[in-house]
Amino acid sequence: MKAEGAEPSMTEYRVAFDAGRPDGRACIHLGELVSPGDPAVRGCSECLESGKRWLHLRQCLSCGHVGCCDSSRGKHAQDHAESSGHPVARSIERGEDWAWCYADELFLTPNGGPGMAT
């Protein structure tokens, strides 16, 4: 399928303030992230195949893979990060715009955020 219309704008992330962690931690992957756009299927493909249920969905910011979160039984987003070496996944839950770097164990938040004028 060809993408029609405007390209999704690139979301840039920065490391979120995270109380309880030492300052100065950095995610070395920020420059490698892509904006995969909204997934075609809003579901964890691994869970769908095996008939499992998931709680929340995470989308890989390297290839667009959708997997379920660490609170889901499958933990397929983490599986994907470890097996593929893709470090960062974002939440695609409504109202959530953060991402998580599995390699650096850091929360990331978008620079600017939705609705900002360009």
Q: Which residues bind Zn ion (CB under 5 A)?
A: 27, 29, 44, 46-47, 54, 60, 62-63, 65, 68, 74, 76, 84, 86-87, 101, 103-104
Instruction: Compute the radius of gyration of the chain from its Cα atoms.
Output: 15
Residue 9 Cβ, how far from Zn ion at the closest point, in Å?
20
Nearer to Zn ion, 84 or 111 (CB): 84
Name which of 11 and 44 has its Cβ closer to Zn ion.
44
Q: Which among 49, 51, 94, 47 is positioned nearest to 71, based on CA atoms?
A: 47
Tell me if 18 sits within 8 A of 108, measured CB to CB: no
d(CA 86, CA 102): 9
Q: How far is the CB of 75 from Zn ion (least distance, A)?
A: 7
> Which of residues 9 and 84 has its CB atom nearest to Zn ion in the complex?
84
Query: Minimal distance in Å, beta carbon 32 to Zn ion?
Result: 9
CA 94 to chain centre: 13
Q: Which residues is 70 bridged to in the sheet?
A: none
Rounded to whole angstroms, the Cα distance separating 19 from 57 reads 24
Q: Closest distance between Zn ion and the C-beta of residue 19, in Å?
A: 19
Which of residues 4 and 41 has its CB atom nearest to Zn ion in the complex?
A: 41
